[in-house]
């Protein structure tokens, strides 16, 4: 859980730094179709509906970067040792 809150805070700070250059929270909220309170929650690293977070990331062209990280993690998971699977049952001959 600690890592999740750190990630949300980092993403929020990144979005806030990009947004603050060109507009205030009210204008940004209007562009995304969300409330100013939701923008504030995103920027402060509070849990929000994921589509709101993704819209904010996409607005600044950051969603592709997140996608690359996810793809790299999926590849890494694919190369990790998998759990041993159950052996198939032996087929016994019916020839007595």
The number of residues making up the chain comes to 96
Q: What is the CATH number of the domain that holds 60?
A: 1.10.260.40
User: How would you classify residue 10: left for phi > 0, otherwise alpha for psi between -120 and 50, otherwise beta?
Assistant: alpha
Inside any domain, residue 19: yes
Range of the domain at 8: 2-64
Inside any domain, residue 92: no
Q: 17-21, 34-38, 55-59, 78-82: which range is least confident on average?
A: 78-82
Q: How far apart are CA 22 and CA 11, in angstroms?
A: 18
Inside any domain, residue 37: yes
Inside any domain, residue 18: yes
pTM score, two decimals? Answer: 0.69
Average pLDDT over residues 38-61: 94
pLDDT of residue 1 exceeding 60, the answer is: no
Q: How far apart are CA 31 and CA 47, in angstroms?
A: 20
Strand extents, DSSP E, 17-88: none
Average pLDDT value over all residues in the chain: 86
**Which pLDDT does position 68 carry in this prediction?**
80
pLDDT of residue 36 exceeding 70, the answer is: yes
């Amino acid at each position: 859980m600690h890592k999740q809150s750190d990630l949300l805070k980092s993403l929020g700070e990144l979005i806030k730094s990009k947004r603050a250059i060109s507009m205030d929270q009210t204008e940004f909220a209007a562009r995304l179709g969300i409330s100013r309170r939701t923008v504030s929650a995103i920027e402060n690293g509070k849990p929000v509906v994921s589509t709101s977070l993704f819209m904010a990331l996409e607005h600044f062209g950051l969603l592709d970067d997140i996608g690359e990280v996810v793809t790299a993690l999926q590849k890494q998971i694919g190369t990790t040792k998998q759990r041993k699977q159950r052996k198939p049952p032996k087929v016994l001959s019916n020839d007595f």
